[in-house]
Amino acid sequence: MGTKMGEGLKAKRKREKERKRIEEVVQYALSHRYRVEILTLLNQASYTASELSDLTGISMQNVSNHLKRMLQDGAIEVVETEERRGTNVFWYRAFGILEYTQEQAEALTELERQTIAGWVVQSGTAETMAALWKGNLADPRTILHWSWYTFDEKGRVDAEAANVRHLEEIRQIECESLGRMVESKEEPTSMIVSLFSFVRARKTPRPASRSAESDPGRRSD
């Protein structure tokens, strides 16, 4: 028994060692257009491989292969299983992401926070890439912007609070829209509102005396 337990422990450690980092998982999931299409559907609901094939027009074999790899990596999950004629049918879904306060996030381990961050990046980027492929980002009403900003500690706190207020306002606008649509029967428009606010991976040089607006290193669209 001791030998079997030892072999089992070695196998477990080997699997843990071979397990991909969430960064690699996300990079793979987003590196193929078919997987991007599949992920946007799994963001909104759970589907079987057959349903995904019908909705995307991708062959059943291709869909199954992509789902199998993403499931093995931990990019998606199975939420329901049903036996049909001796065969298991699986419903797949992207991982649901809860909202965390700063205090709740601090209670998580670093690995848990990194994994959750990976799922958020995966879902948000899949939606962005799908919209780019479809041409929706070329809509003149689309808002596109990215830049980096340089803050002191108080500035960072103020910016974080401003971002929270922005999201709360967007939620309020959605609630009001849903209420109006109950009466008007207007066809809804599904929009992605993405907000990322994080410390930049590269260290930003200390600001000079010139204003940030005149800094040629800034980029925005």
Instruction: Quote the pTM value.
Output: 0.80
Give me the pLDDT at residue 18, please: 59
Give me the pLDDT at residue 204, please: 78
Give me the pLDDT at residue 9, please: 45
70 CB-near residues (< 8 Å, 6+ apart): 28, 29, 35, 38, 76
Give me the pLDDT at residue 220, please: 44
**CATH topology assigned to domain 17-138:** Arc Repressor Mutant, subunit A (1.10.10)
Give me the pLDDT at residue 19, please: 73
Give me the pLDDT at residue 113, please: 95
- Which residue ranges of the chain lie beneath pLDDT 70? 1-18, 208-221
Give me the pLDDT at residue 85, please: 84
Residues of the chain with CATH 1.10.10.10: 17-138
By the 10 Å C-beta count (0-12 exposed, 13-18 middle, 19+ buried), 150 is classed as middle
